[in-house]
Chain A
Amino acid sequence: MKKILIVDDEPNIVMTLEYTFKKSNCEVFIARDGQEALDILKTNFPDVIILDIMMPMVDGFATLEQIRKDANLQHTKVMFLSAKNKESDIEKGLALGADAYMTKPFSIKKVVEKVEELLA
């Protein structure tokens, strides 16, 4: 069973993602912000992390930096999912080590497709 960590502070968005991936038989973890995410990642090593950028406390970019320093998460794929859609943001995200970057608003179908791709 694949493990997915969803990091986003908007509950209504998280709800849709959670439902979708639970239906696909994934184990879903939720974090409301970067700090929470890093705490979870101390003991859990998901296959994919869906990461929002604009979050309180620690934002997505900072979180990814930390993730990439973690040896345990070497094989973890990270995908940014954010309303920030400027080229500079996308570049930054990918430069920091993200494996994919998708913009909001998103199509559920497309997100699922992308995740499957990453898990393959």
Chain B
Amino acid sequence: MNSAVLLLILLGYLGILFFIAHWAEKKENVKWTNNSYVYSLSLAVYCTAWTYYGSIGVAANSGLSYLPIYIGPIIIIPAWIIILKKIIRISRVNKISSIADFISLRYGNSRFLGAIVTVVCLAGILPYIALQLKAISETFHIVTKTNSSSYIFDDTTTYVAVALALFASYYGTRYVDASEKRKGIVTAVALESILKLVFFLIIGIYVTFFVFDGYEDIYAKASLLENFKEKNTIGGLEQGLNWFFLSMVSLFAIFLLPRQFQMSVVENNRERHIKTAIWLFPLYLLLFNLFVYPIAWGGNVLFEGKNVNADTYSLLIPQFFDNKILTVLVFLGGFSAAISMIVVSSISLSTMLSNNLLIPYSFLGKLRNEEQTINNKKIVNIRKIGIFSLIIGAYFIYRFFALDYSLVSIGLISFVIIAQLAPAFFGAIFWRRGSRMGAIYGILIGFVICVYTLLLPYAIGLTNNESSFVSEGFQKIALLKPFQLFGLDYLQPVPHALFWSMLFNSLTYFAVSVSFKGNYRERNYAEMYVDIDKYSTNHENAFVWKGTAYTRDIEKVLIRFLGEERTKRAMNIFNVKYNVDKNQELADARLVKFAENLLTGHIGTASARILISSVVKEEKITLPEVLKILEESKENITINKKLTETSNQLQKITSELQKANETLVRKDVQKDEFLDTVTHELRTPITAIRAASEILHDDDEIPEELRKQFLQNIISESDRLNRLIDKILDLEKFETGKQTIHPTQNDIIATIENSIEPLQQLIKNKNISVYVESKDQILAFYDEDRIIQVITNLLSNAIKFCPETEGLITIQVKKKENFIETSVQDNGKGINPNDFDVIFDKFYQASNQNFKKPVGSGLGLAICKQIIEHHKGKIWVESSIKGACIVFTLPVKNIEN
């Protein structure tokens, strides 16, 4: 393959990436870019050229030990649901843009700590970037079958590095606010993750099924090679320990690597996306690793005896079979893996560099006094130059330090260095007592041990046996042998270094943290981190700060970086959120925190704090005071919640009470009206009785006929009175639920006949005809006595209303599915439609104050209604052309069943 052609292919590939990044940045494509799959795939930036090439090298040469790099992540990823969620929440609330910010903010927004973390990251990651470039360069030469040129400008990788540097510095600094999402980069990385996996799977399938005849074939041939058994088993306890430590280091790496923090935390849009990442990312890693073993051992078989770099088996094998296309595809896969790492790492390193080293320690003075647009430009430029320099710097490291070590060893050293951040990092989110001094000393000690046990020996050279440093220890003290520190001799260099550095690092961290109280600010942030769930909605409230500050001063600072308009908007939001008068001159703790947050995105937490504290006057506040305030605010939050709940409940109860009151008042009025009418009704027969009795008593000369008449009156009025009283009591029983009915299966037609019977005389007297429109049996479920009462009442009304001549009453029964409908129709003067509902009221009264004297006692229909409703039926007036028609329903079956 021609160099030029391959270079063109590469440039074309980079062009596609540019295009994807550009497309993703467009607003209308948000729904493609803001989804959990893109997020989960972007995390696969974890798999670099180390995974792509290096794993095969390890598998071929030393067996299983390529796996622990993934075991760590696999173990801890399910727990991401708690841990990563917490980290994301803290970062979102505080607008954190890098791991240096995260750690330094937690320990009291310490500028120094931020700087240390940045230095550690640089030390760990720059060589790692160099590695990727080395991989690109070497594989490029393999594919083009050229040799690497010692003249730098002749080497094509130089130009690739430059192109990459330009791409990253442009797309990585599109927004000044470092906490704004870089959709373009994320999408491009996700795409690359897919490509590298696909190409890797292709080569894997090719080797397994085309070069060989499947897994068994490879096994059969490979097992004949020497050391096969050894290399494909873990070994014994010692190796098991090594395995354990290696998986621990990768467990830390998945959190602490700047590129991982960038993708999983800073670029996270929705906490929800974690849900997919929890299974998709491990699945991705699984698929990626499936074919490592076949390729490695297939290569071992094919190239047995030849001295080739096993890292590049995946290229050498297709090349061996002259499969140009496949070779290029594999190369592109490795290229993707390398460049995603380079781009993302350089962006995050540059952010850390600018926010935690450059700006706080030198540029802040210049920025403080400039206009917003100039400031923004300066910041962006600092970052752009940073990214560019880092990549180019890494390239020089690669060229001039001629890294002879395998990809794997450099990578692992990088992991161990990064792991020094672990105690401070995990302590930040779980341990309130973790202090700044503890973090600083811990990291420093850990780093020193790393240097002693790893960097120094490697720098001197593993193969340089002349050095007594490695073989005999510092100043020939046996216990200080860098690879067998304090006599620990059964761990390999990397796990060994990890063990000792972690041990001293954590012990120092814990010991210093518990021995020396941190200052109040650390403690404040400690609360906000560890209890983030309580504070996430109004975290500004959690910030404890005492002093004097003027809103105007703070606004001035903000304007320098956000500009007039944005500052105004932000202040509005703040005032609305906390119900603060916008003319309030004095700023409180919440505004201070709010302002710091706003600036953090641009210049990092440390610089933001420096800037703000330069325009406000802070008062010393003791630790106990802070703790008290925090306790109080925690209580307040719970009390507030309870108060809101209680208040809501109270509102509900109050409205219910109001309704109940209204009902009571209404019923009271009704009761008064009822009593009025009842007494009136009762007095009427009593009047007749009294008058007649008085006459009979006083008058001796009354004619016999009249005397008998009056006596008869007395009797009938007494009866009337009695009936009235009965009806009232009946009604009362029904209404208060004391009345019981005893329904049974009955024939309604028979019941109707029974009701008509006693009224026959009256009917005949008034010349009324009564028709019952059904002679058959119709069964229903009701209390016969009561229904007789109802029908009798309806009939009496009908009789009263019927005209003098040709009165006609029709009784009809209709059978419906679950009930029967009985109607009583007369041809009298009918009922006013307005009164259809009211006539069933007790002593029904028209809506205006003119009392209409009720027909009969006025209680009859009210009682009918009660009876029918007790039967779970309905009674109403049906409109008819002539006369009144009252209909009621009864159930066919016992509803209880």
The interface stretch among A37-45, A68-76, A105-113 is: A105-113
Q: Mark B834-854, 1 if CB is under 8 A from A, else 0.
A: 000000000000000011110
Q: How far is the CA of A55 from the CA of B680 in the complex (A)?
A: 12
Given contacts A62-B850, A83-B679, whether A12 and B690 have CB atoms under 8 Å apart is: no
B676 / chain A contacts, CB cutoff of 8 Å? 86
Select which of B683, B692, B716 is within 8 A of A83 by beta carbon.
Answer: B683
Given contacts A12-B713, A54-B853, whether A108 and B695 have CB atoms under 8 Å apart is: yes
B694 CB–A CB distance under 8 Å: yes
A99 CB–B CB distance under 8 Å: no
Q: How far is the CA of A108 from the CA of B699 in the complex (A)?
A: 11
B28 CB–A CB distance under 8 Å: no
Given contacts A12-B716, A20-B695, A108-B698, whether A59 and B710 have CB atoms under 8 Å apart is: no
Cβ contact within 8 Å between A13 and B850: no
Q: Mark A79-120, 1 if CB is under 8 A from B, else 0.
A: 000011010000000000000000011111100000000000
Contacting B at CB under 8 A, from A20-61, are 20, 23, 54-56, 59
Chain A interfacial residues counted at CB < 8 A: 24
Cβ contact within 8 Å between A12 and B717: yes
Q: How far is the CA of A26 from the CA of B699 in the complex (A)?
A: 17
B583 to chain A, nearest CB (A): 62
Cβ contact within 8 Å between B688 and A16: yes
Cβ contact within 8 Å between B684 and A10: yes
How many pairs of residues, A versus B, come closer than 8 Å at their CB atoms?
69
A107 / chain B contacts, CB cutoff of 8 Å? 690, 694
Contacting A at CB under 8 A, from B674-724, are 676, 679-680, 683-684, 686-692, 694-695, 698-699, 702, 706, 709-710, 713, 716-717
**Would you call the interface of chain B mostly helix, strand, loop, or mixed?**
helix
Q: How far is the CA of A107 from the CA of B676 in the complex (A)?
A: 22
Cβ contact within 8 Å between A13 and B688: yes
Q: Which residue of B lies closest to A54 (CB)?
A: B853
B694 / chain A contacts, CB cutoff of 8 Å? 16, 107-109
Cβ contact within 8 Å between B851 and A108: no
B716 / chain A contacts, CB cutoff of 8 Å? 12
Select which of A9, A86, A106, A109 is within 8 A of B687 by beta carbon.
Answer: A106
Q: How far is the CA of A10 from the CA of B852 in the complex (A)?
A: 15
Cβ contact within 8 Å between B690 and A106: yes
A26 to chain B, nearest CB (A): 16
Q: How far is the CA of A23 from the CA of B695 in the complex (A)?
A: 11
B689 / chain A contacts, CB cutoff of 8 Å? 105
Q: How far is the CA of A28 from the CA of B690 in the complex (A)?
A: 21
Q: Which residue of B lies closest to A84 (CB)?
A: B680
Q: How far is the CA of A59 from the CA of B850 in the complex (A)?
A: 8
A104 to chain B, nearest CB (A): 4
Given contacts A104-B683, A108-B694, whether A55 and B853 have CB atoms under 8 Å apart is: yes
Q: Which residue of B lies closest to A16 (CB)?
A: B691
Contacting A at CB under 8 A, from B564-578, are none
Select which of B691, B698, B853 is within 8 A of A13 by beta carbon.
Answer: B691
Q: How far is the CA of A83 from the CA of B678 in the complex (A)?
A: 11
Cβ contact within 8 Å between B679 and A16: no
Cβ contact within 8 Å between A12 and B853: no
Cβ contact within 8 Å between A105 and B687: yes
A20 / chain B contacts, CB cutoff of 8 Å? 695
A9 / chain B contacts, CB cutoff of 8 Å? 853
A86 to chain B, nearest CB (A): 8
A109 / chain B contacts, CB cutoff of 8 Å? 694, 698
Q: Which residue of A lies closest to B852 (CB)?
A: A56
Q: How far is the CA of A12 from the CA of B710 in the complex (A)?
A: 8
B857 to chain A, nearest CB (A): 13
B680 / chain A contacts, CB cutoff of 8 Å? 54, 83-84
Q: Which residue of A lies closest to B682 (CB)?
A: A83
Q: How far is the CA of A17 from the CA of B691 in the complex (A)?
A: 8
B709 / chain A contacts, CB cutoff of 8 Å? 15
B459 to chain A, nearest CB (A): 113
Cβ contact within 8 Å between A83 and B684: yes
Select which of A16, A17, A23 is within 8 A of B710 by beta carbon.
Answer: A16
Cβ contact within 8 Å between A104 and B684: yes
Q: Which residue of A lies closest to B701 (CB)?
A: A23
A13 / chain B contacts, CB cutoff of 8 Å? 684, 687-688, 691
Q: How far is the CA of A12 from the CA of B716 in the complex (A)?
A: 9
Given contacts A55-B853, A59-B853, whether A105 and B690 have CB atoms under 8 Å apart is: yes
Cβ contact within 8 Å between A10 and B706: no
B706 / chain A contacts, CB cutoff of 8 Å? 19
Q: How far is the CA of A108 from the CA of B687 in the complex (A)?
A: 10
Q: Which residue of B lies closest to A60 (CB)?
A: B851
B588 to chain A, nearest CB (A): 66
A49 to chain B, nearest CB (A): 18
Given contacts A105-B691, A108-B691, whether A54 and B713 have CB atoms under 8 Å apart is: no
Select which of B683, B686, B695, B851 is within 8 A of A16 by beta carbon.
Answer: B695
Q: How far is the CA of A13 from the CA of B687 in the complex (A)?
A: 7
B691 / chain A contacts, CB cutoff of 8 Å? 13, 16-17, 105-106, 108
Q: How far is the CA of A105 from the CA of B689 in the complex (A)?
A: 9
B713 / chain A contacts, CB cutoff of 8 Å? 12, 15-16
Q: How far is the CA of A74 from the CA of B465 in the complex (A)?
A: 146
Q: Mark B473-497, 1 if CB is under 8 A from A, else 0.
A: 0000000000000000000000000
Which of A12, A13, A19, A83 has most B Cβ within 10 Å? A12
Contacting A at CB under 8 A, from B637-692, are 676, 679-680, 683-684, 686-692
B717 / chain A contacts, CB cutoff of 8 Å? 12
Cβ contact within 8 Å between A10 and B698: no
Q: How far is the CA of A106 from the CA of B853 in the complex (A)?
A: 21
A16 / chain B contacts, CB cutoff of 8 Å? 688, 691-692, 694-695, 710, 713
B698 / chain A contacts, CB cutoff of 8 Å? 108-109
Q: How far is the CA of A19 from the CA of B703 in the complex (A)?
A: 11
Q: How far is the CA of A20 from the CA of B249 in the complex (A)?
A: 122
Cβ contact within 8 Å between B688 and A19: no
A17 / chain B contacts, CB cutoff of 8 Å? 691
Q: How far is the CA of A86 from the CA of B684 in the complex (A)?
A: 16
B850 / chain A contacts, CB cutoff of 8 Å? 59, 62
B689 to chain A, nearest CB (A): 8
Cβ contact within 8 Å between B686 and A56: no
B461 to chain A, nearest CB (A): 119
Select which of B679, B688, B699 is within 8 A of A10 by beta carbon.
Answer: B688
Cβ contact within 8 Å between A54 and B710: no
A62 / chain B contacts, CB cutoff of 8 Å? 850
Q: How far is the CA of A17 from the CA of B716 in the complex (A)?
A: 18
A85 to chain B, nearest CB (A): 8
Q: How far is the CA of A86 from the CA of B717 in the complex (A)?
A: 24
Q: Which residue of A lies closest to B712 (CB)?
A: A12
Q: How far is the CA of A55 from the CA of B851 in the complex (A)?
A: 8
Cβ contact within 8 Å between A105 and B692: no
Q: How far is the CA of A9 from the CA of B681 in the complex (A)?
A: 13
B838 to chain A, nearest CB (A): 16
Cβ contact within 8 Å between B683 and A105: yes
Given contacts A17-B691, A108-B698, whether A59 and B683 have CB atoms under 8 Å apart is: no
B686 / chain A contacts, CB cutoff of 8 Å? 104-105
A33 to chain B, nearest CB (A): 9
B566 to chain A, nearest CB (A): 74
B684 / chain A contacts, CB cutoff of 8 Å? 10, 13, 83, 104
Q: Which residue of B lies closest to A53 (CB)?
A: B851
Q: Which residue of B lies closest to A17 (CB)?
A: B691
Cβ contact within 8 Å between A12 and B688: yes
B692 / chain A contacts, CB cutoff of 8 Å? 12, 15-16
Q: Which residue of A lies closest to B713 (CB)?
A: A12
Select which of B683, B687, B695, B853 is within 8 A of A19 by beta carbon.
Answer: B695
6 A-B pairs closest in CB distance:
A16-B691, A83-B683, A12-B688, A104-B687, A105-B687, A12-B713
Cβ contacts A to B, 13 pairs, < 8 Å: A12-B692, A16-B710, A19-B702, A54-B680, A54-B851, A59-B850, A83-B687, A105-B683, A106-B690, A106-B691, A108-B691, A108-B698, A109-B698
Beyond A12-B717, A15-B709, A23-B699, 10 additional pairs, beta carbon < 8 A: A9-B853, A12-B713, A13-B684, A16-B710, A55-B853, A59-B851, A59-B853, A104-B683, A105-B683, A107-B690
